[in-house]
Amino acid sequence: MTPKTLVPGHTIGIIGGGQLGRMLALAAARLGLKCHIFCPEDNAPASQVAHHTTIAAYDDVQALADFAAAVDVVTYEFENIPADSVAVLAASKPVYPSAKALAVSQDRLDEKSFISQLGIAVADFYDITSAETLAHALQQTGGHGILKTRRFGYDGKGQWRLSPDSDLAEVMAQLDGQPAILEALVEFEREVSVIVARDLNGHITCYAPIENQHENHILRRSLMPAQVSNAVAQTAVQLAEKLATALDYIGVLSIETFVTVDGLVVNEIAPRVHNSGHLTQDACAVGQFEQHIRAISGWPLGDTQAHSDAVMTNLLGDEIDQWADWAAQANTAVHLYGKEQAKAGRKMGHVTQLKAK
């Protein structure tokens, strides 16, 4: 569909009702734009703050078509949307990021191939379709590696860390025929992400690289600025810009990298706002959520310079009960997502602590 500049009063359609959709909707509201959420759940975090919600399955073609008819542009907060659903939406309204960007990031094999073909380093990776291809790949990597389903994994789900001691038959049974890749292990000093935005005219802005600390495969803490040299920071920004341009990307794109002795290695890309970018809400005049809304709405991109240094800590599961302690801290912003059940490991909120630069 033809790109369109939204004006105040126009409506953004968001596929997905979680915390990313919620913070996108809050950012859109600041700009006088309305949001219409599409998700299967009642009382989803995003619905609580949006103008409208369509409650339907992600493959409900009629509901998708009605939703698209009711909004001015469509975006999404997670990458596991069926391609057929995107096609239905794209038939009547612009969908950003595009189906192409979505397809690349939905499949780890396609993603790694795409990045690699741009001359950007990724972990050595192998297409795994059988016990034989797995055994052969492990020979190349010295018996170590991470087996990942090509699709639908997140926060360590759908992943198996393999060593020469692993019971490969058991792993193949758990994989249960799903297409997968084996990635060689990468020795890294730290993990750094880059949040890049590209607008309808091809203009690109990047926030300064952000350092991430994981626990149990879940993001625990992010810091800006990342503790890396200027040269590494510059390289990280350049590869983010290269990826956004190569994907002809519209919106916010998130790139996770490993800092190694041999340079930066891209771990994965996400065609959306990202947990590590949450601190930009509080550390910059325009955060990642508003930046995404601006990009897909044909607005000028916002200034990405940070007025403060920042540390973001996720509140996982019943850590949300610590909200009052966090709220009492100096220079601290608390963000809670309106989720009813605090399951273990579930992202219930986050806090950002600011510090003068």
Name which of 166 and 332 has its Cβ closer to a copy of itself: 332
Least distance between a copy of itself and beta carbon 247 (Å): 24
Site membership for a copy of itself, residue 331 (CB under 8 A): yes
Least distance between a copy of itself and beta carbon 310 (Å): 10
Q: In what order do the strands lie in the sheet with 159-162?
A: 125-128, 180-183, 145-149, 159-162
Site membership for a copy of itself, residue 201 (CB under 8 A): no
Site membership for a copy of itself, residue 26 (CB under 8 A): yes
Strands 34-39 and 11-15, sheet pairing: parallel
Q: Which of 323, 354, 353 is nearest to 338 (CA)?
A: 323
**Amino acid, single-letter form, for residue 95:** V
Among 4, 29, 41, 346, binds a copy of itself (CB under 8 A): 29
How many C-beta atoms lie closer than 10 Å to residue 195's C-beta? 29
Among 129, 130, 229, 305, binds a copy of itself (CB under 8 A): 305
By CB under 8 A, the residues from 116 to 175 that bind a copy of itself are none
Q: Is the Cβ–Cβ distance between 21 and 51 less than 8 Å?
A: no
Name which of 95 and 333 has its Cβ closer to a copy of itself: 333
**Amino acid, single-letter form, for residue 210:** I
Q: Is the Cβ–Cβ distance between 213 and 191 less than 8 Å?
A: yes
Among 56, 308, 317, 345, binds a copy of itself (CB under 8 A): 308
Name which of 19 and 105 has its Cβ closer to a copy of itself: 19
Least distance between a copy of itself and beta carbon 331 (Å): 5
By CB under 8 A, the residues from 40 to 79 that bind a copy of itself are 48-51
* Rounded Cα gap, residues 224 and 214, in angstroms: 15
Tokens of 288: 């990642």
Site membership for a copy of itself, residue 332 (CB under 8 A): yes
* Rounded Cα gap, residues 270 and 334, in angstroms: 25
Name which of 261 and 330 has its Cβ closer to a copy of itself: 330
* CA-atom Rg of the chain in angstroms: 20
Least distance between a copy of itself and beta carbon 37 (Å): 13
Q: Is the Cβ–Cβ distance between 257 and 264 less than 8 Å?
A: yes
Site membership for a copy of itself, residue 285 (CB under 8 A): yes
* Rounded Cα gap, residues 38 and 52, in angstroms: 9
* Rounded Cα gap, residues 19 and 242, in angstroms: 28
Name which of 34 and 112 has its Cβ closer to a copy of itself: 34
Site membership for a copy of itself, residue 356 (CB under 8 A): yes
By CB neighbour count within 10 A (0-12 exposed, 13-18 middle, 19+ buried), where does 62 fall?
Answer: exposed
By CB neighbour count within 10 A (0-12 exposed, 13-18 middle, 19+ buried), where does 148 fall?
Answer: buried
- Spell out, one character per residue from 2 to 21, where the chain touches a copy of itself: x when CB under 8 A holds, - when not: -----xxx------------
The string of DSSP codes covering 141-160 is: TTT-EEEEESSS--TTTTEE
Q: Count residues binding a copy of itself (CB under 8 A).
A: 46
Among 154, 233, 323, 346, binds a copy of itself (CB under 8 A): 323
Name which of 30 and 343 has its Cβ closer to a copy of itself: 30
Binding site for a copy of itself (CB under 8 A): 7-9, 22, 25-26, 29-32, 34, 48-51, 282, 285-286, 294, 299-300, 302-303, 305, 307-308, 320, 323-324, 327-338, 340, 349, 352, 354, 356
